[in-house]
Amino acid sequence: MFGKLVPVPSGAMIPDRDIGKKPILECVNLGITFGGLKAVEDFNLTIGRTEIAGLIGPNGAGKTTVFNLLTKVYQPTHGTILLGGKDTHGMNTMQVNRAGIARTFQNIRLFQKLSVEDNVKVGMDANMKYNMWSGIFRLPGYWHEEKAAHDRALELLSLFNMADLADVPAGSLPYGAQRRLEIVRALATNPSLLLLDEPAAGMNPSETAELMENIRKIRDTFQIAVLLIEHDMNLVMNICEGICVLNFGRVIAKGSPEDIQSNPAVIEAYLGKKKEA
Amino acid sequence: MKNLHMKKYTRTNLLTYLGVIAAFVVMNMLSASGSLSRSLTGQLVPICCYMSMAVSLNLTVGILGELSLGHAGFMSVGAFSGIVAAMSLQSAIPSAPLRLVIAMAVGAAAAALAGLVVGTPVLRLRGDYLAIVTLAFGEIIKELVNCLLVGYDSKGLHVLFNLSGNKSVADLGLEPGGLAIIKGAQGATGTATIATFTAGFVLVLVTLFVVLNLKHSRAGRAIMALRDNAIAAESVGLNITKYKMMAFVTSAALAGAAGALYGLNFSSLQATKFNFNTSILVLVFVVLGGLGNIWGSLIAAAALTVLPELLRAFSDYRMLVYAVVLILVMLTTNNPTLKSFFGRFKPGKSHGKEAA
Amino acid sequence: MEFLSYLISGVSLGSVYAIIALGYTMVYGIAKMLNFAHGDIIMVGGYISFCAMSYLGLPGWLATLLAMAVCTVLGIVIEGLAYKPLRSAPSLAVLITAIGVSYFLQNSALLIWKAAPKVYQPVVSGSLTLFGGQLSVPYASVLTMAACLVIMAALTLFISKSKMGKAMRACSEDKGAAQLMGINVNATISTTFAIGSALAAVAGVLLCTSYPTLQPTTGSMPGIKAFTAAVFGGIGSIPGAFLGGLLLGVIEAMAKAYISTNLANSIVFAVLIVVLLVKPAGLLGKYVPEKV
């Protein structure tokens, strides 16, 4: 399932199969200023319902800042973010997640002392209903929902072949498994858009290949969109349908993998300007 | 298959309950046979109170991961509101155990309310700032209670706030035969001591029940998650304010119940009893017992309450010895070199880590 | 006139808090620990100067120097024995150790000097009369304020200009990087404790000169207040400690004079809570959000 990019009325490009459905994410002139420094400026991006999109650029280009804006870790100073057509203005991180954006972090942020299974269950918390008293007095709601959460957690974990690690403390997992667990935890929140911040960082080629499979599998199983930041160009060019290139906080190119690979501005950003002879 | 082998924490919890029950039975037998010293018998109720204080503070410090230096403030709120409740109900409810239960419930409710009031602003702060504000809160409570005059007569409760320092019980305007319960800086005097060791035992069990079940439910999971990584917790949609508040208020309520029992164990009690040093004392129990480790808190609270008694042989030097023991324990348990040295003698130390 | 005299006593008290808070804040800035034993160093300084004056008959300035010397050594020894082994330990463990040290100092003082309060012989006495006798300012207050200003100026100069001061700033930013730049981190931390403890000794002398009763617990409350002052001004910030200390002293004096003697401390603490809610890192502290 690899879509051809076609334009929507706004002029943005999304995969052909998502035409007719409202794009999951539309950023319009998004920007943030830190003490006079424009970290991200005029950021425009549209992502289709089931698109796998990539956000790339040299170090310090502002990629993670974009994620922080989308998830309201930082409040944008300009522009709007529409999630499934709904403005997320005024929402905080928690509300944005409940509205449908889940993310992973560049520097892994797991709940280190909790077990793998509990990390996933925390992701489901917002969708659980039993209250504190049911928990303390072990009322039927507790047993019922905990059982369901346990089953769902194991189901999600087995997607990534991690079910047998359920009882291990998350902090003691190997690096690659920690990255995978972050993805599972994000999925547990039932997102419609999954943001992955350097999911392949520190992985060897075979782990990366497996990750690529998994990202596709996630999209196909849950019918959600994925936006990923990644330095591994092999991964980006293989699974992303649309790519957005950021440099010094500005978008310098957008398009399909082929467009990006041959774009002179992108080559210049990565390799530097050719010296005059 | 998963349900066949008990989860490790379930086993630990079960052992904790059994240990508490066994300790109660043994102490009762010793007490009945008269083999407990007078001073130790007098310590039984306070030990239960401190155990409950330690477990409840562990909820804030170990499980929620926020340093509180004002836990004694909640104990104080519970103690004095509990005393007022018990003393004013003296004629209405002749049964002392029932009055005690009501007093503890009132103490818990009052402390929970205080927790709510304090927690709302405080929990927005972080780390050491939160610590200093809880410390400030404890000191404020102490001074407020010091200014408090409370009496009871047939018209109900009379409460007076002695701001200027020149009012006395006489200003309460009690009817003849009315009862002055809290007398400003003198504190509560003439309290009917209705606290019993059995009530202390029940208090510890209830505290354990609440804290352990809370910890192993979605709330506990969420609370520990936001302790481990607040940003990630928010990013998966946790309402971190709600969960912080839940832990803080529950902890305060349990401290309030413990305070009420403590207050009703002494015929006279001053607000200065619940000062910064008491908060620190309970914090020491929690840290020595292990953060998040519930049975550790119980043992540390019991051992360290009895320790100064056992150190009587050192007479004047006992608090000095206590200080040295405290420093040495912290050094040996936290210094990497010493830790690995002692770790070699610990059997099965890989299981030492508490399952969260 | 009455107001002015309250203000002066407030500034004088605040100067003592500021001197103690400077020690607190320096240690916090570099070792990132709440040194709860700091207040008890004040008490030790008080007792040493008391003994020097009352038993050895030394003059006030010499007694102060002696107290500073003893406290400096004490500070270095405490740091080396109790805190240094815990450099990499969780902060709560260090906090409890500091509390242990505090108990240790208080109970040692109790054994050596007994619980009965000592009557401190002030290093200066008498008052300055101004406005034709309408306002009298104790020389002790004048001395305290002057000492605070001198210390503040000297410390600012030391931190900004000297090599050790630069090393301190570097360590407070990033110990690892400072070490890689060839700074002896352990020596820097020791020096910080030494300076903080010497300041505590001065504070002890000044405190006992204004409030001449000395007990093993004399340092506890001023210690807590100074800690509050440091947080108030923004912990880790030297001008913040100065400002926080002065404000705290003035608020306390005014609350005592105009609102309630019984609730003076509560008012101080309530103001602290309000300030922290408005400025979560204190008046002059920098709020550094966590990087995501």
Q: What is the pLDDT of residues A97-116, one digit of tens each?
A: 999 999 999 999 999 999 99
Residue B350 lies in a domain: no
State the pLDDT at residue B355: 38
How would residue B311 be classed by pLDDT, with cut points 50, 70 and 90?
confident
Give residue B196's domain range: 43-275
State the pLDDT at residue B338: 67
Q: What is the pLDDT of residues A54-101, one digit of tens each?
A: 999 999 899 999 999 999 999 999 999 999 999 999 999 999 999 999
The reply to whether C108 touches chain B by the CB within 8 Å rule is yes
Residues A226, A104: Cα–Cα separation, whole Å: 11
* Contacts with C79 from chain B: Cβ below 8 Å: none
Q: What is the pLDDT of residues A111-163, one digit of tens each?
A: 999 999 999 999 999 999 999 999 999 999 999 999 999 999 999 999 999 99
* Residue A149 · residue A117 · CB < 8 Å: no
Tell me the count of A-B CB pairs closer than 8 A: 108
* Contacts with A158 from chain B: Cβ below 8 Å: none
Residues B312, B307: Cα–Cα separation, whole Å: 9
Q: Could you state, in order of their start, the residue ranges of all structural domains in chain A?
A: 5-109+189-271, 111-172
Residue B232 lies in a domain: yes
CB-count burial class (<10 Å; 0-12, 13-18, 19+) for A35? exposed
State the pLDDT at residue C89: 85
Q: Which of A75, A136, A147, A168 to mutate to test the interface with B (most CBs of B within 10 A)?
A: A136
State the total domains in chain B.
1
How would residue B305 be classed by pLDDT, with cut points 50, 70 and 90?
confident
Give the closest residue to B233 by CA, choosing from C228, C221, C290.
C290
Q: What is the pLDDT of residues C93-114, one digit of tens each?
A: 898 899 999 999 999 999 999 8
How distant, in Å, are the alpha carbons of B44, C29, C185 from that of C166? 55, 13, 12
Average pLDDT for residues C13-20, to the nearest whole number?
Answer: 95
Residue B169 lies in a domain: yes
- Superfamily designation of domain A5-109+189-271: P-loop containing nucleotide triphosphate hydrolases (3.40.50.300)
Q: What is the pLDDT of residues C66-90, one digit of tens each?
A: 999 999 999 999 999 999 999 888 8
State the pLDDT at residue B356: 37
- More reliable by pLDDT, A180 or A4: A180
pLDDT for A225 beyond 50: yes
State the pLDDT at residue A171: 95
Q: What are phi and psi of B35, to 5 degrees?
A: -95, 10
State the pLDDT at residue B351: 41
State the pLDDT at residue B347: 45
How would residue B5 be classed by pLDDT, with cut points 50, 70 and 90?
low
Q: What are phi and psi of C260, to 5 degrees?
A: -165, 130
Q: What is the pLDDT of residues B148-164, one digit of tens each?
A: 999 998 888 999 888 77
Of residues A94, A109, A112, nearest to B237 (C-beta): A94
- For B209, nearest residue in chain A (alpha carbons): A136
Q: Give me the residues of C, 253-292, that contact A with CB < 8 A.
A: 292
pLDDT for B343 beyond 70: no
- More reliable by pLDDT, B329 or A109: A109
Average pLDDT for residues B125-150, to the nearest whole number?
Answer: 88
Q: Could you tell me which residues are beta bridge partners of residue B301?
A: none
Residues C212, C173: Cα–Cα separation, whole Å: 40
Asked if the Cβ–Cβ distance from B133 to C228 is below 8 Å, we say no
- For A114, nearest residue in chain B (alpha carbons): B356
Q: Where does residue C55 fall: left (phi above 0), alpha (psi -120 to 50 degrees), or beta otherwise?
A: alpha
pLDDT for A260 beyond 60: yes
Task: Count CA within 13 A, CB hemisphere, residue B238.
Answer: 34
Q: What are phi and psi of A41, to 5 degrees?
A: -140, 140
* Contacts with A105 from chain B: Cβ below 8 Å: 231-232, 235
Asked if the Cβ–Cβ distance from B331 to C99 is below 8 Å, we say no
Q: What are phi and psi of B354, to 5 degrees?
A: -80, 135
Residue that the structure tokens 């922290």 belong to? C276
Listed in sequence order, the residues at least 6 apart from B270 whose beta carbon sits closer than 8 Å to its beta carbon are B185, B186, B187
How would residue B131 be classed by pLDDT, with cut points 50, 70 and 90?
confident
pLDDT for B353 beyond 50: no
* Contacts with C292 from chain A: Cβ below 8 Å: 64, 68, 73, 105
pLDDT for B63 beyond 60: yes
Structure tokens at B144: 């407020």
* Residue B58 · residue B258 · CB < 8 Å: no
Q: Which of A111, A117, A165, A196 to mutate to test the interface with B (most CBs of B within 10 A)?
A: A111
State the pLDDT at residue B340: 67
In this structure, of A153-167, B236-250, B304-318, C238-252, the range with the lowest mean pLDDT score is B304-318
Tally of CB atoms within 10 A around B344: 7
* Residue C202 · residue C253 · CB < 8 Å: no
Amino acid at A115: S
- Prediction ipTM score: 0.91
DSSP string, C109-162: HHHHH-SSPEE---SS--EEEEGGGTEEEEHHHHHHHHHHHHHHHHHHHHHHHS
Q: Give me the residues of C, 116-175, that contact B with CB < 8 A.
A: none
* Residue C230 · residue C240 · CB < 8 Å: yes
Tally of CB atoms within 10 A around A141: 15
> Using only C-alpha atoms, what is the Rg of chain A?
20
pLDDT for B123 beyond 90: no
Exposure b/e, C158-177, CB count within 10 A at least 16 = b: ebeeeebbebbebbbeebee
CA angle at C34 for the pair C30 and C38, rounded to the nearest 5°: 100
Residues B12, B19: Cα–Cα separation, whole Å: 10
CB-count burial class (<10 Å; 0-12, 13-18, 19+) for A13? buried
> Under an 8 Å CB criterion, which residues of B touch A?
209-210, 213-214, 217-222, 224-225, 228-229, 231-240, 246, 292, 353, 355-356
Average pLDDT for residues A204-218, to the nearest whole number?
Answer: 93
